[in-house]
A and B are shown apart, each in its own frame.
Chain A
Amino acid sequence: MENNRGFDEQKIIDIISEFIRHNFLLGDKNKDLDANVSLYETRIVDSTGVLEIVDFLEEKFGIKIEDDELIPDNLDSIKKMSIFVQRKMGNAS
């Protein structure tokens, strides 16, 4: 786990994008990955993928995600995830 203060918004977006590119787009470098687009409506990620993302965010950013935080407002797009992660890290410190 890295120091919480080491992550600015762009860094968080980059880390999450890299994870999604690696695990869900599988090396398809041509495919655009827009941070604002819904990962579920575009079918990039499915319900089991959400669990993988949650595990990744918890481990990578040292946060704990509660059941009632598993909602589209927090996890629908990379941008929403990054805002959510920042808020969680802010609360934690």
Chain B
Amino acid sequence: MLVNQFLTQSIEKYPDKEALICSGWRYSYKDIGEKVKDFTNILLTKELEKSDRVVIYLENSLESVVAIFSILEAGGVFVVVNPQMKSKKMSYIINDSGAKILITDKVHLNQIDDVMGECKFLQDVFLVDYEDSLNVKNKTINLNPFNSVKDIIDKRNQVLNIVDEDLASIIYTSGSTGFPKGVTLTHLNMSSAADSIINYLENNSDDIIFNVLPLSFDYGLYQVLMAFKFGGTIVLEKSFIFPHHVLQRIKEENATGFPIVPAIANILLRLKDLSKYELPSLRYITNTAQKLPKKTIFSLIDAFPNVKIYSMYGLTECKRVSYLPPEKLKEKPDSVGQSMPNTEAFLVDDRGKRITKPNVIGELVVRGPNIMVGYWNKPEETAKVIKTGDDSKDRLLYSGDLFSMDSDGDLYFQGRKDDMIKTAGEKVSPKEIENVLYELDDIQEAAVFGVQDDILGQAIKAVVALRKDSTLTDKEIIGHCLKHLENFMVPKFVEIRGELPKTTTGKISKKELIDN
């Protein structure tokens, strides 16, 4: 099934049902369908061709949802980027993806205007709040209104045949080299993952999902895709800021599903009395991206005794791997359970041999129709994670995550093979932050790593050595990072030292910094 058919199918089945609730507005499936039809035609008028990439740079909004489905309807590939992303990384992604079209708003366009001249392939920018007087630095780029008032010609019969093996999306994730990597996903990849998740969450058209996660994050994106697939309703919020407000909104909207990451759980649990919030409609809470601490799990169970809590695990490269059935949560709070339907997960040792004994640590390997095609334009990086199995037809994804498995086959996360940091549910490459730190002339040595944090799981710490006589302060260093990195990548702690410890080969010893 094609991902855009999630919507067309629900328009047929439930035309007048509420599909999306966002910024105080409520849209039926028919409403969304009309808007998608119009914008699909606008994209086709711009001669969008099969598998052309289109970048969406917006806060969670009606327009971001309409854009995703319109791009797919027109045969294109959507790339949703974090609305907090700064200009340098944006130009990297626009160029790396080869996008001809960008969909954004005035505030975000202004944020990246300085790099517009560097976006080689970009031809058109669609603005959701377009004004005639606007212009951009790069004069070869046309600015267009997202909501065109002109007559729209129906060009949808021109769409080339798209099959489920065609690309649907590229999702950029932090790469260990310091540059983001584009995870390429076909319609089949996304549709298979959505089916498996809907299956174990037992979703049906009565479900109302309350989503505070950004659509640039696959976990947030799939809430919309899945809700449209099973004909439910998605309540789309811009972010999670005010815990009381969010809990009130869940109650008002009679939401049945609430996807969270540990940072959200930890903030909710900071409320003085969480149990006074009765949420009778809420059927389940899901957690992924990072392990929920045991204490947090038991506090959530106490606060919401009638809500099923799903501990899950996944990575963008295959969306989701495993989940723990909620009834096993009290017995195995540290586990993320077993592979989801239509996915196989097993552990291998250093030599790539399958581990059959229980409680032995190995790398998690995944097989299934949800595994990505590869990293966009990065065959070498792809070859490192996608390998053939014993049966040469098998494509196996090496997760880079270390796990153990108990005698029942339930999985326990043990750590990363590399030094990637997991903070507030995001995977962050220390190298990317170190590169930004080294842009400051006064910084001679920099090392970035994760430290234990009650709310974020891991907080980012940078230890730097400065040039002699430098007057640079920790606050100034953080200020520099804020200008160039998404907020969640900005180090919470910066420590300035005379010099950094070294290994015998003269490299900075992160191990020594972490251990002390």
- Using a CB–CB distance below 8 Å, which chain A residues touch chain B? 22, 25-28, 40-41, 43, 45-48, 50-51, 66-72, 75
Residues on the B chain within 8 Å of A45, using CB: 241
Determine whether the beta carbon of B478 is less than 8 Å from that of A72: no
In chain B, positions 137-153 with a C-beta closer than 8 Å to chain A are none
Instruction: State the total of A-B contacts with C-beta under 8 angstroms.
Output: 62
- Using a CB–CB distance below 8 Å, which chain B residues touch chain A? 84, 238-245, 248, 263-264, 267, 270-273, 276, 424, 455-456, 473, 475-476, 478-479, 482, 487
What CA separation (Å) do A27 and B481 show in the bound complex? 12
Determine whether the beta carbon of A70 is less than 8 Å from that of B478: no
Determine whether the beta carbon of A47 is less than 8 Å from that of B267: yes
Instruction: Kindly provide the distance from the CB of B108 to the nearest chain A CB, expressed in whole angstroms.
Output: 11
Q: Which residue of A lies closest to B273 (CB)?
A: A67
Given A27-B475, A28-B479; A43-B84 close (CB under 8 Å) = yes
Determine whether the beta carbon of B244 is less than 8 Å from that of A67: yes
What CA separation (Å) do A75 and B241 show in the bound complex? 10
What CA separation (Å) do A51 and B272 show in the bound complex? 12
Determine whether the beta carbon of B245 is less than 8 Å from that of A47: no
Determine whether the beta carbon of A48 is less than 8 Å from that of B455: yes
Residues on the A chain within 8 Å of B243, using CB: 47, 67, 70
Determine whether the beta carbon of B242 is less than 8 Å from that of A72: yes
Partner of A46, one of B241, B245, B271: B241
Instruction: Kindly provide the distance from the CB of B308 to the nearest chain A CB, expressed in whole angstroms.
Output: 24
Residues on the B chain within 8 Å of A25, using CB: 479, 482
Determine whether the beta carbon of A50 is less than 8 Å from that of B272: no
What CA separation (Å) do A70 and B270 show in the bound complex? 12
Q: Which residue of B lies closest to A38 (CB)?
A: B241
Determine whether the beta carbon of A68 is less than 8 Å from that of B244: yes
What CA separation (Å) do A67 and B318 show in the bound complex? 38
Q: Which residue of A lies closest to B473 (CB)?
A: A27
Q: Which residue of A lies closest to B478 (CB)?
A: A26
What CA separation (Å) do A46 and B212 show in the bound complex? 13
Residues on the A chain within 8 Å of B455, using CB: 48, 51
Given A25-B479, A26-B475, A27-B479; A71-B487 close (CB under 8 Å) = no
Q: Across chains A and B, which 4 residue pairs bring their CB atoms closest together, nearest first?
A: A26-B479, A70-B244, A67-B271, A26-B475
What CA separation (Å) do A43 and B487 show in the bound complex? 8
What CA separation (Å) do A67 and B272 show in the bound complex? 6
What CA separation (Å) do A68 and B276 show in the bound complex? 11
Other A-B contacts than A67-B243, A70-B243, A70-B271, 6 sampled, CB-CB below 8 A, are A27-B476, A43-B487, A46-B239, A47-B264, A69-B244, A72-B242
Instruction: Kindly provide the distance from the CB of A12 to the nearest chain B CB, expressed in whole angstroms.
Output: 20
Determine whether the beta carbon of A70 is less than 8 Å from that of B479: no
Determine whether the beta carbon of B476 is less than 8 Å from that of A70: no
Determine whether the beta carbon of B242 is less than 8 Å from that of A71: yes
Residues on the A chain within 8 Å of B271, using CB: 67, 70
Partner of A70, one of B238, B242, B263: B242
Instruction: Kindly provide the distance from the CB of B208 to the nearest chain A CB, expressed in whole angstroms.
Output: 22
Partner of B270, one of A26, A51, A72: A51
Instruction: Kindly provide the distance from the CB of B392 to the nearest chain A CB, expressed in whole angstroms.
Output: 47
Can you list 14 pairs linking A and B with CB atoms under 8 Å apart? Answer: A22-B475, A26-B476, A43-B487, A46-B241, A46-B487, A47-B239, A47-B264, A47-B267, A48-B263, A67-B273, A69-B244, A70-B244, A71-B248, A75-B242
What CA separation (Å) do A53 and B424 show in the bound complex? 19
Residues on the B chain within 8 Å of A75, using CB: 242
What CA separation (Å) do A66 and B424 show in the bound complex? 25
Determine whether the beta carbon of A47 is less than 8 Å from that of B482: no
Determine whether the beta carbon of A40 is less than 8 Å from that of B478: no
Determine whether the beta carbon of B479 is less than 8 Å from that of A40: no
Residues on the A chain within 8 Å of B264, using CB: 47
What CA separation (Å) do A55 and B276 show in the bound complex? 22
Q: Which residue of B lies closest to A65 (CB)?
A: B272
Given A26-B482, A67-B271, A67-B273; A47-B476 close (CB under 8 Å) = no
Determine whether the beta carbon of B479 is less than 8 Å from that of A72: no
Given A27-B476, A47-B263; A70-B245 close (CB under 8 Å) = yes
Partner of B245, one of A27, A41, A66, A72: A72
What CA separation (Å) do A41 and B59 show in the bound complex? 9
Which of B241, B245, B271 has the largest count of A CB atoms less than 10 A from its CB?
A: B241
What CA separation (Å) do A41 and B238 show in the bound complex? 9
